[in-house]
Amino acid sequence: MNVIKRNGDIEEVSFDKVQRRIRNLSTNLSHVNQTLVSQKICSRIINNIKTSALDVLGSEICASMITTHPEYGVLASRITISNHQKNTSPSFSETIQLLYDNTDVHGKNVPLISESLYRVVQANKSKFNFVIDYSRDYNFDYFGFKTLERSYLIRVNGVIVERPQHMLMRVSIGIHNEDFKEAIHTYNLMSQKYFIHATPTLFNSGTPRPQLSSCFLLAMLDDSIEGIYKTLKSCALISKWAGGIGMHIHNIRGKHSRIRGTNGVSNGIVPMLKVFNATACYVDQGGGKRNGSIAVYLEPWHSDMFDFLLLRKNTGSEEERARDLFYALWVPDLFMERVKSEGKWTLMCPDKCPGLSDVFGDDFKELYEKYEREGRGNRTIDARELWFAVLEAQIETGVPYILFKDAANRKSNQKNLGVIKSSNLCTEIIEYSSPEEFAVCNLASIGLPKYVEYPNFDRLNIKIYSKTGCIYCKYSKRYMKSMNIEYEEINLDNNGKRADFFMTLNDELEEVGGDSYSGELLSSLPQIFIDDKHIGGFAELVKELRPVFNFDKLYEVTKVITKNLNKVIDINYYPVPQAFTSNKRHRPIGLGVQGLADVFALMRISFDSDEAKKLNRAIFETIYYASLESSMEIAKKREGQMKRYHELLNNSTYGFRNVPCFDEEEDEMEFHKLHTILKPIDEELRLTKFLGAYSSFDGSPASQGILQYDMWNVQPSERWKTKFQELKTNIHKYGLRNSLLVAPMPTASTSQILGNNECFESFTSNIYTRKTLAGTFIVANKFLIEDLIRIGIWSKEIKDQIILDRGSVQNCKQIPKVFKEIYKTVWEISQKTIIDMAADRGAFIDQSQSLNLSLGEPDFKKLTSMHFYSWSKGLKTGVYYLRTRPVANAQQFTIDPLKAMEQNNSSDVCESCTG
């Protein structure tokens, strides 16, 4: 049996060499059985296998053993990344040269990176090669690296030539160009997982067509053949460059409506949407990297609404289905009120009843009821008939998304621009769009687990009063040993000694507690004291020895991301002119998060606890403040530069083609330097105040001292209250550089890259398999397994029990209650709590949030209660996906329990706006 080495040499397979490679990569992995792994690899070797394929085999074998111990996942990552580094250049500048020298099949030079990036790297070769840290490639877990390998790392002739660090450096230089300091700062933060830019930015930054935007919101240009097909072309161009699309079609006439030009009748929205469906399938994002994705928004008064709700259903005529699009309702309050009061609802055609999508709130109600009185509607039904049709579609397909039109418009900092008519593909972007302006958003997400830091426990004086045979005494000691924490143990096996201890302890607790003393007498062990203060037993120890969240670092990094996204707006390639117009005028950005559930697990907090609710709000309040302050500071700095720019311009004369001419060479040089920095658009040049702000700032709520939390009637916390007031003063003086700032997105792919749970969601399961674009992977809750290993109870039996319980730990008797609380899955958390937390952070989210809701066994009553609660809480997004799961079939687990855990909703995740 032979193996082919990387240099082409052929030699006989050697078990010792295989084992030596595994041993070299298993440093500090004490729970990996190196011999077993080596044996498994050798048992599957085929003749003339390449050493690189041998590494792939080894990494896959280790990945399949992740649920045995997390260290096998670490080894899987090390093998695959070591293999990748052996196959790629250890020089960043060489890799950039290779990408620049790329040729097509005709031998023509077709660079894969931009001329400007190439020049910057060539001018600073030694600096970049010195700074880049390839050891950080090993920070990516196996799951994350395979995701990068599948879609993100650039290939030449089908062969990957980038390393993860190359990609991150390319992205950083692509954003900052010649600003070496900022490029390195961005690289260091991303390579250490503090944040990550969105998927289109990772794909395209530093390339000849840097289309870095994630989300595009389109208006149907016109209810005509010309308008429809121009919009279709825009969708194709945006999809080509990896943009996800949200499109509203409220203005398209319904079925059987009169077409004046031909004296015929319309076929309605369904045949039109089938054309858009075909385009989404044909024009995939980035040339085969991801499917094209379009979400279609419609208000519930539209006469074709019932047909709209059937489009994604699994049954029915293919002529009436368009299953590759996503569907969303843009719901006015009036509809919810009619459903609640069991009232009537009139379906209308926008051709006969124009303007309904152009108004909201009382204006909408007045116009809608006017049309009702005039008898212009097509059909009047019970409002609940339509409502139940919506719920039926959601139960079967997970859509339509539900967004509340009035909340989205009332609580928008863009309300001075006009009525907002839709959201985006993933329901977190709430921006104004029109036939002249297609809204755009550039995204990035913050890796929240990175901000969790452990204090120094070395100085703690810990005493544990224990008893032989006491399970929780054993757990407590193992838990502290696993964290290298020293303690003093006092054994209370003697009955008399134990009785005296509890008598003294209970007397002290009564004395200290005073009127608040519960009267409950302690009698169980262990009892633990830290620095002579009684804390309780094992559960209390777990919570006491927990890390802290670094809000100062979160504040600092948020400001960096805000600056980065502003540069992205300026350097971005816009597929259609309407997108350029919108983004340059209003400059919205979207900061999101990933790994909120990981943070709660690390900090020993149950997702539905009061502590979690407080931390959830505090994180988003910090992000909102920091991004606002950064946006104001950019506007302030820019105002000074714009004043000087105008001063120079006013002192110039206009020569050929209105090019300004200067008497002094120094003035000309300064002017051109400022022009390069500022890149002012015409609207900015016409401003007479707020010279550094985005051009439509004046008249916005923020310009009037109204921020997002004011629109929710919420007060900032004591930590930020005074600072927000000072910030309002500065905003009133200098303005903001961005109309919108915070938009927590799904982070479908980037959370896989960083190894975090998605966005702000709770854990879906503690063990399951998952299918993604990168392949099929076993996913285990690493925090749960590590905790159970710490106390010495992780076993195959517990793993099988969790699998049989569909990822739940609640029925595992061996698992302590404190861990059962921490590791609740989404199916075990009240959706009321999820909605409450969305509302709590919503006061500090000036766009919206991709809020999934989950019901194990949904019915109309539960869904109605849930949606109306979201509406009553003032959410802009009522629901993104409705996730359901069938009742467990016990028989299926006896065949292949892991396969039974497979999650079927993974193909529906949005990757266009993953931040």
Residue 18 located in a structural domain? yes
Percentage of the chain beyond pLDDT 90 is 85
How much is the pLDDT for 912? 54
**Residue at 51 is within a domain:** yes
Tokens of 741: 């700032």
Average pLDDT over residues 374-389: 98
Q: Percent of the chain having pLDDT more than 70?
A: 94
Q: What is the pTM of this model?
A: 0.95
**740 by DSSP, 3-state: which?**
coil
> Does residue 15 sit within a domain?
yes
Helices and strands in the chain: count of H runs, count of E runs: 37, 30
> Is there a domain that residue 295 lies in?
no
Instruction: Assess whether 639 carries a catalytic annotation.
Output: no
Answer yes or no: 42 catalytic.
no
Question: Which one is catalytic: 349, 353, 426, 473?
Answer: 426
* Among 899, 799, 755, CA closest to 76: 755
Domain limits for position 484: 455-511+522-546
Q: Which of the listed ranges 161-170, 307-316, 801-810 does the model predict with the highest average pLDDT?
A: 161-170
Alpha helices in 807-896 (DSSP H): 817-822, 831-842, 860-872, 890-895
pLDDT in tens, 753-797: 999 999 999 999 999 776 544 456 667 899 999 999 999 999 999
Enter the tokens of residue 340.
């609640």
How far is Cα of residue 819 from the mean position of the Cα atoms in its chain? 26
Distance CA 85, CA 165 (A): 11
288-300 pLDDT per residue, tens: 666 779 999 999 9
Is 50 inside any structural domain? yes
Q: 526: cis peptide before it, omega within 30°?
A: yes
Least confident of 127-141, 277-291, 426-440, 676-690: 277-291
Last residue in a domain, options 42, 63, 87: 87
- Tell me, yes or no, whether 409 lies in a domain: no
Contact indicator for 619, 594 with CB cutoff of 8 Å: no
Does residue 486 fall inside a structural domain? yes
Catalytic-role residue among 71, 162, 182, 428: 428
- Answer for the pair 448, 757: CB distance below 8 angstroms, yes or no: no
The enclosing domain of 488 has a CATH number of 3.40.30.10
Q: Is the peptide bond before 400 cis (omega within 30 degrees of 0)?
A: yes
Q: What confidence tier does 886 reach under pLDDT thresholds 50, 70, 90?
A: confident
Q: State which amino acid sits at residue 222.
A: D
Please provide residue 855's backbone torsions phi and psi, each rounded to the nearest 5 degrees.
Answer: -135, 125
In the listed set 43, 64, 87, which residue is the last one of a domain according to the structure? 87
Q: What is the pLDDT of residues 668-721, one digit of tens each?
A: 999 999 999 999 999 999 999 999 999 999 999 999 999 999 999 999 999 999
* CB 461 within 8 Å of CB 530: yes
Residue 780 has what pLDDT? Answer: 81
Encode pLDDT of 489-537 as tens digits. 999 999 999 999 999 999 998 888 766 666 788 999 999 999 999 999 9
98-131 pLDDT per residue, tens: 999 999 999 999 999 999 999 999 999 999 999 9
Characterize the bridge pairing of strands 488-491 and 264-265: unpaired
pLDDT tens digits, one per residue of 183-219: 999 999 999 999 999 999 999 999 999 999 999 999 9
* pLDDT for residue 897: 42
Domain count for the chain: 2
The residues facing 217 across adjacent strands are: 246, 439
Q: Is the pLDDT of residue 905 over 50?
A: no
Q: What is the pLDDT of residue 517?
A: 64
d(CA 551, CA 793): 34
Query: What are the distances in angstroms from CA 532 to CA 474, 505, 829?
Result: 21, 12, 37
Q: Which of 87, 121, 156 is the last residue of a domain?
A: 87
Strand stretches in 598-713, DSSP E: 653-654, 660-661
Examine the residue annotation and report whether 470 is marked as an active-site residue of this protein.
no
